[in-house]
Amino acid sequence: MSTSFSVNALFAGKPQPLGPRGAPSSIVKAPVDALTVHMDRTDEDEQANKRLHGGPEKVLHQFNPTNYLTLRKHFPEGEFSLGSIGENISVEGMDDATVYIGDIWKFGEVELQVSAPRAPCNKISQRFEVPNLDRFVGERGITGWYYRVIKTGTISVGDEVTLLHREDDTVNVHTLMQCAHTKADKSLAQKLAKLEALDDEWREKCQKIADKIADK
């Protein structure tokens, strides 16, 4: 895997009604030229549900653009395009299998650390009007990942993206999601629960998985 890429596209959105109940969501985003990144937010993007989205551990979401090919193949009725699953960052060549928890990436002047996978929710299914699409994304391990901010600044389309650091004993995002959905690997779940770079919410999830396997 290469450790140097470039930003293909950036996206941001504001809360707007979604689904049959009109619940506010920011999954619908539009292309932007740049994102102004702070330690807990960006100026351009705003989360609707701040309990589940955003905050210091989920400042930015990145999604592998080639995953849209998989979605179009399995759900041809869905209108999938870059940015439509709610990501902020699109970079060709970075994917769930080659990006690891704890990775520190430099985007132009900004430094970001991979903190957790995205936990897909029903907003994805509502966005595309495809039942159980969120479950499909999770089971396939193509959720994308969240970043916490190490160094603030501005990310612009076309900026170079470089890997600065990778932990010695970590796992990629895809492996973590597979563990979360199959709930079959106790030793892996225990390892994940101890990853300091993984956010607390996910560490707790992994510990619960390990405990349930032990009880069987």
| pTM given for the model | 0.94
CA-angle at 146, arms to 41 and 122, nearest 5°: 100
Residues 6+ away with beta carbon under 8 Å from 69: none
Domain boundaries of the chain, sorted by first residue: 4-168
What span, in angstroms and rounded, lies between the C-alpha atoms of 191 and 180? 13
140: part of which helix (H) or strand (E)? helix 133-140
pLDDT digits (tens, 9 = 90+) for 144-193: 999 999 999 999 999 999 999 999 999 999 999 999 988 778 999 999 99
CATH class of the domain whose range is 4-168: mainly beta
* pLDDT single digits (tens) 66-117: 999 999 999 998 889 999 999 999 999 999 999 999 999 999 999 999 999 9
